[in-house]
Amino acid sequence: MSEVYQKLQVCLESVRAKTDFQPEIALILGSGLGDYADEIDIEQTIDYTEIQGFPTSTVAGHKGRFVFGRVQGVPVVIMQGRVHYYEGYPMSDVVLPTRLMGLMGAKKLVLTNAAGGINPGFQPGCFMLLTDHITTGVPSPLIGPNPDELGPRFPDMSEVYSHRMRSVVKDAAAELNIPLHEGVYVQLTGPAYETPAEIRMCRAWGGDAVGMSTACEALAAKHMGLEICGISCITNMAAGMSGKPLDHKEVQETADRVAVQFKQLITAVIGRI
Ligand code: HPA
Whether the predicted pLDDT of 96 surpasses 80: yes
Assess whether 31 carries a catalytic annotation: yes
Give the amino acid at 132: D
* For residues 55-75, average pLDDT: 81
- Find out whether 40 and 67 touch, Cβ atoms under 8 Å: yes
The stretch 21-47 carries a mean pLDDT of 93
Beta carbons within 10 angstroms of residue 209's beta carbon: 28
The predicted pLDDT at position 109 comes to 98
Pocket residues for ligand 1 (CB within 6 Å)? 114-116, 193-194, 210-212, 235-236, 238, 246, 251
CA atoms within 13 A on the CB side of 15: 27
Residues 172-181 pLDDT 10s: 999 999 999 9
Which domains, from first to last, does the chain contain?
3-272 (3.40.50.1580)
CA of 227 to the centre of ligand 1 (A): 25
Confidence of residue 56 (pLDDT cuts 50, 70, 90): confident
> What pLDDT digit, counting tens, does each position of 97-150 carry?
999 999 999 999 999 999 999 999 999 999 999 999 999 999 999 999 999 999
**Mean pLDDT rounded to a whole number for the chain:** 95
Instruction: Return the residue whose CA atom lies nearest to atom 7 of ligand 1.
Output: 116
The whole-number pLDDT of residue 187 equals 98
The residue type at 249: K
Which residue from 94, 38, 66, 51 is spatially nearest to 215, judged by alpha carbons? 94
Q: Picking from 39-43, 56-60, 169-173, 247-251, which range would have the lowest pLDDT averaged per residue?
A: 56-60
Predicted local confidence at residue 108, as pLDDT: 98
- pLDDT (0 to 100) of residue 101: 98
Residue 223 known to be catalytic: no
Residue nearest to atom 3 of ligand 1 (CA): 211
Using CA atoms, how far residue 106 sits from 101, 145, 227, in Å, is: 6, 24, 9
Q: Which atom of ligand 1 is nearest to the CA of 188?
A: 2
**181 is a catalytic site residue:** no
Question: Which amino acid residue places its CA nearest to atom 5 of ligand 1?
Answer: 116
